Amino acid sequence: MILYSSNVTGFKKDIKSFQIVDKIENSFVDCFGKNPSPSEKRSWNNSMQFMSQIVDGSNVADDCGVLIEYNIPTSSKRVDFILSGQNKEEEDNFVIIELKQWDSAEPTEKEDIVKTFVGQAVREAAHPSYQAWSYQQMIHDMNTAVYEGNIKSHSCSYLHNYKEKNPEPLKLPQYAECIRQAPVFLRDDYKMLEDFLYCHVGRGKGMEILYRIENGKIKPSKKLIDHVSGLFRGNSEFILIDEQKVAFETIVNVAKKDDNKKRTIIVTGGPGTGKSVISMNALGELLKNEMNVQFVAPNAAFRNVLLEMLTQQIPKNKNRIRNLFSGSAKFYNTQENVFDVLIVDEAHRLKKAGAYQYQGENQIEDIIKASRINVFFVDDSQQIRPEDIGSVQAIREIAQKYNSEIEEIELKAQFRCSGAEGFMNWLTTVLQIEDTANFDGWDKAAFEFKIADNPNDLLEMVKAKNYEGYKARMLAGYAWKWSSEKEGNKNGEIEDVIISECDFKMPWNSRSTTTWAIDENGVNQIGCVHTSQGLEFDYVGIIVGNDLKFNPETKEIYASYNDYKDMVGKKGLKEKPLELTRLVSNVYKILMSRGMKGCYVYCRDSELQEYLKERLERTRE
């Protein structure tokens, strides 16, 4: 999708006649079915005037090509400005120009991240040059016209309102590598930008280059395939075992069928059955088969931890393969069957209309529509909010709507909790989620489960395991407020989780990272379901807050609406106590099943604490 395409002559004419923004806006409405925001229109008005002066001053040929708001295929990203043409050696080139209206920025300690005033507040953002380079890399990795057609790509950023400081935050040594990949040009660097453009595309003949880019096939380059394959090689985190291997081969076999039929694969399995191991291996294998494939997960923390695990041996690889990982909200406006395969992990967390930052109606439908083959990894018992719609039945119904052939795979073998399937059954029964077979116990030598008398003992147990070299974390239900960054809680400075009767205080996990689960300081903060779902540790310590209680008279577990602090999680459920209890119980089952070797629990509600102790004692009889 492109909002504006012309040669330099046409671009100059549209600027001079004040038609440029109208043309971009009309294309936007045609493509998205809605009007652009006022801020976006102001941005076009402002930036295009500056780019007109730059193009004019660069003396590039009139038949250079101009693309504005080029949507990178397979992504929701739009490139601000592309100029195409030949250099003096008559080589075909294009230049990506990332435009910013910033007038100031601050450095951060994070790689390629800065702070600036955007969206009515000071926020963290990617360095403009990193942004430009990442778009260049994405196009180079996925567009056959570029990597097979000998079209050379270049990128830069241009901040036309930004007066250079001394020292200049955007040019500090920690940003040297991304600036080397994509130079940054500030307000007074306009002559250098003009020279940069003329050097790469000044001789013209750019329209044919634009045509080739626009019509290039979308599939991964051999370099990207080799790159990703190398990350899986020898990585013990992603070895397939038994039925996982069967599921993986089934997915690959279905995806490789060349009859152009739409197919939906639904893989079901409880916690610890290896859904994520299969999904990651499928991503790597389908890339090897030169398919346009992406890994999709609704939860950013889960995605980012997987990315870190995959690239832990060569961290610099992370930025390149990040483009293969996606959230689930971006496909609402994607054309049908743009992707060969979309692999959706944690699909039970897919959302409906009204979810945060989601502009579509139904993420299941978005994904099935956008891909020829779609693979959903689902566990219905891991839905935790009313907006979570990714059930097996919902996926079946939408697949049938699109005449997509359905294949279902069930994973039964438990690889978390030391393979203690009995523990998972016991937990499901004890939390009154459903009655299960073999619920009366498990091999205690295989999996350790203890109930602590107070949260301080719980923390000591977790820290002791962490000291012994195990990966251990504290987790809690959403029964306490989570202070915002505006309240001074960016890095977990505020001890929100307070149990005053036990003189216990701890902060929630830091808001400044999405990799709390593997960060060194993570043991000193408490994670929640949103930062741990889909992940695993060796040992976990679980604080069950007052959001889940036990009634000794009715012998029933129930959720407390007032004590449950997830406002989205309890929206519309004040008069639906059974549904609220189902979702809160699901949260605690998820938390208690994160440990591979052991789980320690403390319940703030004394009746629930005694109930769990009594049920645990029964398993010893």
DSSP state of 588: H
pLDDT in tens, 260-290: 999 999 999 888 788 888 999 999 999 989 8
Per-residue pLDDT reduced to its tens digit, 357-416: 888 999 999 999 999 999 999 999 899 999 999 999 999 999 999 999 999 999 887 665
Return the pLDDT at 434. 83
Closest CA to 542 of 449, 605, 474: 474
Range with the poorest average pLDDT among 6-10, 416-420, 457-461: 416-420
Q: How many CA atoms lie within 13 A of 556 on its CB side?
A: 8
pLDDT band at 118 (very low <50, low <70, confident <90, very high): confident
Tell me which DSSP letter residue 263 carries: E
pLDDT for res 419: 56
Q: What is the mean pLDDT of residues 297-311?
A: 85
- Cα distances (Å, whole numbers) of residue 293 to 304, 325, 331: 18, 10, 13
- pLDDT at residue 47 in the model: 94
pLDDT for residue 306: 84
CB 523 within 8 A of CB 462: yes
The least confident of 153-167, 262-276, 339-353 is 262-276
Could you read off the pLDDT of 18-50 as tens digits, one per residue?
999 999 999 999 887 789 888 899 999 999 999
Nearest CA to 128 out of 120, 116, 141 is that of 116
123: left (phi over 0), alpha (psi -120 to 50) or beta: beta
**Distance between CA 261 and CA 333 in Å, rounded?**
22
Strands 497-499 and 504-506: antiparallel
What is the residue whose two structure tokens read 């990714």? Answer: 390
Alpha-carbon span 175 to 106, nearest angstrom: 12
Rounded to the nearest 10°, the torsion over CA 185, 186, 189, 195 is 20
Percent of the chain with pLDDT over 90: 66
Q: What pLDDT was estimated at residue 248? A: 93
Which helix (DSSP H) or strand (DSSP E) does residue 310 occupy? Answer: helix 300-310
Name which of 531, 578, 570, 574 is nearest 386 in CA terms: 570
Q: Decide: 265 and 373 in contact? Cβ < 8 Å.
A: yes
Which pLDDT tens digit goes with each residue over 419-434? Answer: 567 888 889 999 999 8
**What's the pLDDT score for residue 356?**
84
Round the CA-based radius of gyration of the chain to a whole number and report it.
27
Question: Residue 615: pLDDT above 70?
Answer: yes
Lowest mean pLDDT among 3-7, 261-265, 341-345, 437-441: 437-441
Instruction: Please tell me what DSSP assigns to residue 273.
Output: S
Find out whether 511 and 490 touch, Cβ atoms under 8 Å. yes
Q: Where are the alpha helices (DSSP H) in 156-299?
A: 176-181, 190-201, 207-215, 222-232, 243-255, 275-288
How confident is the model over 574-595, as pLDDT tens digits?
Answer: 999 999 999 999 999 999 999 9
pLDDT level of residue 621 (50, 70, 90 thresholds) = low
Q: What is the pLDDT of residue 82?
A: 97
Cis ω for the linkage preceding 167 (within 30 of 0): yes
The tokens for 365 are: 């439908």
Residue-level pLDDT at 133: 93
Half-sphere exposure (Cβ direction) of 494: Cα atoms closer than 13 Å: 13
**Which residues, 6 or more positions from 596, have their beta carbon under 8 angstroms from its beta carbon?**
272, 416, 417, 418, 536, 537, 538
Q: List pLDDT tens digits, range 532-567.
A: 988 889 999 999 999 999 999 999 999 999 999 999
Whole-prediction pTM: 0.78
Chain mean pLDDT for the chain: 90
Q: Look up residue 148 and give its two tokens.
A: 């097979």
pLDDT(236) > 70: no
The position carrying tokens 């036309």 is 160
Distance CA 203, CA 465 (A): 65
Residue 490, Cβ density class (10 Å: 0-12 exposed, 13-18 middle, ≥19 buried): middle
| pLDDT value at residue 424 | 85
Which residue has better confidence, 511 or 472?
A: 472
β-pairing verdict for 293-296 and 325-326: parallel
Instruction: Note the pLDDT of residue 492.
Output: 80
Residue 93 binned pLDDT confidence (cut-offs 50, 70, 90): very high
Confidence of residue 5 (pLDDT cuts 50, 70, 90): very high
Helix H, strand E, coil C: the string for 417-461 is HHHCHHHHHHHHHHCCCCCCCCCCCCCCCCCEEEECCCHHHHHHH
What pLDDT, on the 0 to 100 scale, is given for residue 422?
81
- Kindly state the DSSP code that residue 27 receives in the 8-state scheme: H
Q: Label residue 256 by pLDDT band (50, 70, 90).
A: very high
556-559 and 595-603: which strand pairing?
unpaired
Q: Please indicate whether residue 147 or residue 12 has the higher confidence score (pLDDT).
A: 12
pLDDT (0 to 100) of residue 220: 80
Place of tokens 């939906």: 264
Taking the C-alpha atoms of residue 301 and residue 571, their distance in angstroms, rounded to an integer, is: 23
pLDDT at 418 over 60: no
What average pLDDT does range 154-173 have in this prediction?
Answer: 96
pLDDT at 395: 98
Which secondary-structure segment (H or E) carries 154?
strand 152-159
Q: How far apart are CA 233 and CA 225, in angstroms?
A: 12
Q: How many helices (H) and strands (E) does the chain have?
A: 20, 24
DSSP-derived letter for residue 247 is: H
Q: Residue range 227-254: average pLDDT?
A: 80
Q: How far apart are CA 256 and CA 253, in angstroms?
A: 5
Name the β-bridge partners of 539: 472, 598
Rounded to an integer, what distance in angstroms lies between the CA atom of residue 17 and that of residue 52? 12
- For residue 364, what pLDDT is reported? 98
What lies within 8 Å, CB to CB, of 21 at 6+ separation is 41, 44, 45, 48
Write down the CATH number for the domain with range 222-411. 3.40.50.300
Using an 8 Å Cβ cutoff, are 421 and 414 in contact? yes
> From CA 90, how far away is CA 181, in angstroms rounded?
22
- Confidence at residue 605, expressed as pLDDT on a 0 to 100 scale: 97
Structure tokens at 258: 């060349």
